[in-house]
Structure 1
Amino acid sequence: MARISLRKKVYIAGPMTGLIDCNRPEFHAAADCQRALGHVVLNPATLPDDLTEPEYMSICMPMLMCCDRIYLLDNWASSDGAKAEYALAKKLGLEIVFQEGIDHEVALIGLRGDGEAHY
Structure 2
Amino acid sequence: MLSNDPPPGVSLQAARANRVYVAGPMTGIADFNYPAFNAVADKLRAQGYEVENPADHGIVAGAQWADYMAYDLTRLGLCGMVALLPDWEKSQGAKLEVLIAERLGMTVVNAHDLVTRENAAVPTFSKLM
- Out of 55, 64, 69, the position equivalent to 2:67 is 55
Contact 1:30 1:104 in 2 (8 A): no
Structure 1 residue 51: deviation in Å?
A: 1.6
Mapped partners of 1:74, 1:95: distance in 2: 17
In the alignment, which residue of structure 2 is the partner of 1:114? none
Structure 1 residue ranges, 4+ long, deviating more than 4 angstroms after superposition: 103-107
Q: TM-score, normalised by structure 2?
A: 0.71
After superposition, what is the alpha-carbon deviation per residue over 1:61-112, rounded to whole angstroms, capped at 9, x for unaligned? 110000010001010000000000000000000111113xx399999xxxxx
In the alignment, which residue of structure 2 is the partner of 1:76? 88
- Out of 20, 23, 26, the position equivalent to 1:10 is 20
Structure 1 residue 48: deviation in Å?
A: 2.9
In the alignment, which residue of structure 1 is the partner of 2:37? 27
- Specify the SS of the correspondent of 2:25: coil
Contact 1:35 1:41 in 2 (8 A): yes
Amino acid at match of 1:60: D
In the alignment, which residue of structure 2 is the partner of 1:42? 52
Q: Are 1:89 and 2:101 counterparts?
A: yes
Mapped partners of 2:116, 2:100: distance in 1: 30
Q: 1:105 to 1:8 in 2, by over 3 A?
A: closer
Contact 2:83 2:114 in 1 (8 A): no
Mapped partners of 1:9, 1:104: distance in 2: 13
Unaligned runs of 5+ in 2: 1-13, 118-129
Q: TM-score, normalised by structure 1?
A: 0.77
Q: 1:40 to 1:81 in 2, by over 3 A?
A: same
Structure 1 residue 46: deviation in Å?
A: 1.1
Percent identity, please: 39
- Specify the SS of the correspondent of 1:16: coil
